[in-house]
Structure 1
Amino acid sequence: MADADIWPSEIRLLEAGRLLRVSFESGEVYDLSAEHLRVRSPSAEVQGHTPQERKTVGGKRNVAILSVEPVGSYAVRLGFDDLHDTGLYTWPYLRELGVGAEADFSAYLGELAEKGLDRDRPGER
């Protein structure tokens, strides 16, 4: 699917901000946890400027999304209750997170274990 074909029909916060449901015009619907969205934030703070700079962020099991703000016609900015709000989640990136959610979250859990971090204690490496 070309990026130009990826367009959301609805974005809705559920479960007191712990879940973001993204429905696409294609009929795809993804429920993305706030934790997954936060730890995979597309921000430079998390992703760095090169793959080697990407951080693994722990302690976000109970994070919630406080705000969803449109950015032009291509993305949303999510504001989290830990005050992180610098990532722009484009429509293709939200779809990518939805499609690969299970495998990506499993990889994240592996990264936490490898770096001595966990989902409940804040920290990053």
Structure 2
Amino acid sequence: MLAVQKAIRRIHTSLDAPRLTRFTLQAPKNVEVEYANGSKFNLTAEFLRIHSPAVDGKVRSVGGEKVIIGRRHVGIMSAEPVGNYGVRMIFDDLHKTGIYTWDYLYHLGSNKFTLMRNYIKTLKKHGLSRDPPRRK
């Protein structure tokens, strides 16, 4: 299953996205990216965190599906450029291993509503929540 997910991600990130013209971190909750073709996407920290291109130790496997839960209120502390092809974002839950390429951000922005709808459906199907667990 993981190999299939990696192959799909590789296909989606290898598409020829238009050239990035602007990246703006609107800490702590949003990133705005704009491309040469006029596409402009506002991506939330939660959305970016749950679609991190890195393997995450906080991923829960439920019914064979990998799901990141409880990230509704996550924030982005900083964003560091990686070469001329992407950015590493450091989230306030201390996740910092994913590198978001400009092509991958274009894919996320272009498919934002479908990806988020599918994520919410998966959570509901398994009785999980976007909200962090309550502390006792």
User: TM-score of the superposition, structure 1-length normalised?
Assistant: 0.83
Gaps of 5+ in 1: none
Structure 2 equivalent of residue 61 of structure 1: 72
Cα distance in 2 for partners of 1:4, 1:30 equals 17
Cα distance in 2 for partners of 1:100, 1:4 equals 15
Structure 2 equivalent of residue 7 of structure 1: 19
Q: Does residue 93 in structure 1 map to residue 83 in structure 2?
A: no
Query: Matched residues, percent identical?
Result: 39
Cα distance in 2 for partners of 1:72, 1:106 equals 32
What is the Cα-based RMSD across aligned positions, in Å? Answer: 2.2
Structure 1 equivalent of residue 81 of structure 2: 70
Structure 2 equivalent of residue 24 of structure 1: 35
Structure 2 equivalent of residue 108 of structure 1: 119
Q: Over alpha carbons, which structure has the higher Rg?
A: 2
User: Are the structure 2 counterparts of residues 66 and 54 from structure 1 closer, same or farther at C-alpha, using a change threshold of 3 Å?
Assistant: farther
C-alpha distance after superposition, 1:44-81 (max 9, x if no partner): 227x9xxxx86211111111111111111111001000
Q: Does residue 84 in structure 1 map to residue 95 in structure 2?
A: yes
Cα distance in 1 for partners of 2:17, 2:75 equals 29
Indicate conservation of the 8 Å contact 2:17/2:106, yes or no: no
C-alpha distance after superposition, 1:87-123 (max 9, x if no partner): 110111100100110111000001111222101135x
User: Are the structure 2 counterparts of residues 54 and 93 from structure 1 closer, same or farther at C-alpha, using a change threshold of 3 Å?
Assistant: farther
DSSP-derived class of the 1:58 partner: coil
Counterpart AA for 1:7:
R
Q: CA deviation at 1:3?
A: 4.3
Cα distance in 2 for partners of 1:10, 1:71 equals 15
The 4+ residue runs of structure 1 with deviation greater than 3 A are 2-5
Cα distance in 1 for partners of 2:35, 2:22 equals 7
Q: CA deviation at 1:6?
A: 2.8
